[in-house]
């Protein structure tokens, strides 16, 4: 089925662009009903306008987290999106927001991309922290969002090696290329097959430790 998406951004928007471009090239069967930013100066908003995609922004300054989220929800509720996609959205979403997107199978219909192999290096500086730590292999993660930061069922990961002469910039740019490739592919997979993820290993419940959990059959919504 064709996915109806809202994309939340805070800055540059290169992942948002990769998604819009994949839709334009019919590699992704989806439509973006709204690009929202908490930053009215986000370059992503102009890019989205260039793809004739509706945009909105509400700065978070001066609002409580819940009041700001409520403003976003007021914009999103009438749209009836299948998934909210976080593409460099630098605000933590509380359960007030997430519960509006609860799927009957228990997960939230909110997807994030993170620039490390989670659970390593969560937080706002995934590339920097992985690079400065000196990892030999890093990667990117696309996951369903839960109440914890950069946490929730993993949908896909891709690894890349750190080269001996890598600078932080070359390391980041190799990762970003993978982000742009993987994000539209994962969304297309959801549009074709619904949401699939491996359940996290749950100590004391061994039958979960290797089982493939599938959820949201028939489109993931
Ligand atoms: C990406 O590295 C993404 O993984 C992280 O924030 C960055 C956003 O970049 N969550 P862009 O705005 O998509 O260019």
* Tens-binned pLDDT, residue by residue, of the chain (221 aa): 899 999 999 999 999 999 999 999 999 999 999 999 999 999 999 999 999 999 999 999 999 999 999 999 999 999 999 999 999 999 999 999 999 999 999 999 999 999 999 999 999 999 999 999 999 999 999 999 999 999 999 999 999 999 999 999 999 999 999 999 999 999 999 999 999 876 555 555 444 333 333 333 333 33
| C-alpha 208 to ligand 1 mean position (Å) | 32
**Nearest CA residue ID for atom 5, ligand 1:** 88
- Which residue carries 């996915």 as its tokens? 3
Cα torsion 191, 155, 128, 5 to 10°: value is 30
User: What is the strand order of the sheet 55-57 is part of?
Assistant: 55-57, 30-37, 3-9, 83-86, 110-114, 137-144, 154-161
Known catalytic residue at 96:
no
Probe target for ligand 1 pocket from 14, 15, 116, 124, with the most ligand atoms within 8 Å of CB? 15
Cα torsion 158, 164, 169, 170 to 10°: value is -60
| C-alpha 13 to ligand 1 mean position (Å) | 7
Using DSSP, state whether 153 is helix, strand or coil.
coil
119 preceded by cis ω (within 30°)? yes
Q: What share of the chain is helix, strand, coil (3-state, %, to 5)?
A: 35, 25, 40
How far is the C-alpha of 88 from the C-alpha of 26, rounded, in Å? 23
Tokens of 219: 């489109």
How far is the C-alpha of 145 from the C-alpha of 92, rounded, in Å? 10
Q: Report the DSSP beta bridge partners of residue 37.
A: 9, 57
Instruction: Name every residue whose Cβ is closer than 8 Å to that of residue 106 and which is 6 or more positions away in sequence.
Output: 215
Given 68, 96, 103, 114, the catalytic residue: 114
Paired sense of beta strands 212-215 and 3-9, if any = unpaired
């Amino acid at each position: 089925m064709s996915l109806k998406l809202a994309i939340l951004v805070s800055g540059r928007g290169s992942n948002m662009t990769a998604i819009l471009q994949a839709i334009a090239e019919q590699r992704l069967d989806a439509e973006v009903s709204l690009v929202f930013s908490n930053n009215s100066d986000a370059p992503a908003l102009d890019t989205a306008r260039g793809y004739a995609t509706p945009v909105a922004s509400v700065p978070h300054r001066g609002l409580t987290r819940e009041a700001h989220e409520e403003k976003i929800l007021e914009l999103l509720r009438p749209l009836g999106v299948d998934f909210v996609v976080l593409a460099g959205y630098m605000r933590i979403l509380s359960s007030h927001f997430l519960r509006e997107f609860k799927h009957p199978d228990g997960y939230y219909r909110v997807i994030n991309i993170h620039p490390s192999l989670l659970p390593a290096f969560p937080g706002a500086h995934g590339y920097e922290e992985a690079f400065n730590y000196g990892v030999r292999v890093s990667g990117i993660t696309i996951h369903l969002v839960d109440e914890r930061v950069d946490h929730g069922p993993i949908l896909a990961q891709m690894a890349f090696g750190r080269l001996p002469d890598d600078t932080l910039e070359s390391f980041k740019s190799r990762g970003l290329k993978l982000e742009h490739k993987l994000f539209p592919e994962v969304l297309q997979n959801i549009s074709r097959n619904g949401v699939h993820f491996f359940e996290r290993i749950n100590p004391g419940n061994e039958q979960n430790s290797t089982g493939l959990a599938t959820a949201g059959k028939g489109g993931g919504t």
